[in-house]
Amino acid sequence: MTIVAEGALAAEAGIGRVLVTGAAGFIGFHAAARLLGDGMAVHGIDDLNAYYDPRLKEARLAELRRQEGFSFERLDIADHDALAKSFASFRPDVVIHLAAQAGVRHSVQHPFAYSRANLDGFLSVLEACRAATVRHLLYASSSSVYGSNAKVPFSEADPVEHPVSLYAATKRANEMMAEAYAHLYAIPMSGLRFFSVYGPWGRPDMAYYSFAEAIVAGRPIELYNGGRMSRDFTYVGDVAEAIVRLVPRPPVVRAPNAQNPAARHTIYNVGNHEAVSLGDFVTAIETALGKTADKRFGPMQPGDVPATFADVSRLQAAVGYAPQTPLNEGIARFAEWFRTYHGV
């Protein structure tokens, strides 16, 4: 299925206006750019906080502002009155909620930032969607909800009742809140469990980005759990593609069953359905940058898990697509952007 066909499908479904929270963020930027490329009107919301350098967020916004159909509003999603006014003014057909306080390790030191952004903020979005009667809400969850589950690959039907970080707990809470609102108010919702997203315009707090900065600067990098980690690394362009394909495909009303108990709420894994060792990941970064890393090994960090691995059969069945960019190709694209953006 081509990009043009996806845009045509959304237009045929009467979808022309999409509100994206976290539009200046990593995934939000890429999703908004794809939607604009498909001819959608996109209204971006972001509070441009200083969790990482706001200049990167401003640079992303500058790219989006070059495209026709984009508008932006600086707004804290936890400010419900302001958010409700924004919804009422823009009148979105679909909402893509990607604003959140991210970072597993950061949640250990700054727990209240997570309750405000990820719990109060998400409730504010749900209430705004209810008042605006949007046709489909897509929201960001996380692979972290699987905690230390030993069964792999992770399936949406697996139990996820034992989070190992506050961040994971807030994301699982989002899923339960969405379940309740979908049931009570018949709002179609799709929850997206993202798996270790990487690529150009990424977040500096992510491992691959901080590794690249350290390698270029000649500083050592630290590999936790003695380097015995693996992740399902997912290229951000593939994530944006999955989001855009889901936009005109809200969950249909059907009889609940054990595999999918929610009639109007469906959760999807969005991953590359491949577990890559941390060592191979670092090798890919070294190759792309043309420089060897000085590796140091440390213990497992609080809230971390040793491995992630996505079963994406539900996503593939829904939209005929699954993330597929090879790691070396995706890292090479990141490295090219990294050199240009940082002038190295």
- How confident is the chain (344 residues) per 10-residue block, as mean pLDDT? 56 86 98 96 97 96 97 97 97 97 78 93 98 96 91 93 92 96 94 97 95 96 78 96 96 62 82 91 96 84 72 96 96 98 94
Tell me, yes or no, whether 184 lies in a domain.
yes
Q: How far apart are CA 4 and CA 155, in angstroms?
A: 31
What is the domain count for the chain? 1
Give the up-direction half-sphere exposure of residue 234: CA atoms within 13 A in the CB hemisphere.
Answer: 29
Beta carbons within 10 angstroms of residue 324's beta carbon: 13
pLDDT of residue 307: 72
pLDDT of residue 303: 54
Tell me, yes or no, whether 210 lies in a domain.
no
Tell me, yes or no, whether 288 lies in a domain.
no
CATH number at residue 114: 3.40.50.720
Q: Residue 177 is encoded by which pair of tokens?
A: 């809140």
pLDDT of residue 12: 63
Q: How far apart are CA 66 and CA 47, in angstroms?
A: 20
pLDDT of residue 78: 97
Tell me, yes or no, whether 84 lies in a domain.
yes
pLDDT of residue 6: 64
pLDDT of residue 3: 43
Q: How far apart are CA 279 and CA 71, in angstroms?
A: 42
Tell me, yes or no, whether 179 lies in a domain.
yes
Q: Are 239 and 323 in contact (CB under 8 A)?
A: yes
Q: How far apart are the first and last CA of the chain?
A: 37
pLDDT of residue 309: 83
Tell me, yes or no, whether 286 lies in a domain.
no
Q: Three-state DSSP class for 201?
A: coil
Q: Point out the residues that are catalytic.
A: 167
Domain around 17: 3-195+235-273+310-324
* Cβ burial, residue 16 (10 Å; 0-12/13-18/19+): middle
Tell me, yes or no, whether 299 lies in a domain.
no
Q: How far apart are CA 133 and CA 140, in angstroms?
A: 20
pLDDT of residue 2: 40
Tell me, yes or no, whether 79 lies in a domain.
yes
3-state secondary structure 12-68: HCCCCEEEEECCCCHHHHHHHHHHHHCCCEEEEEECCCCCCCHHHHHHHHHHHHCCC
Q: Are 175 and 141 in contact (CB under 8 A)?
A: yes
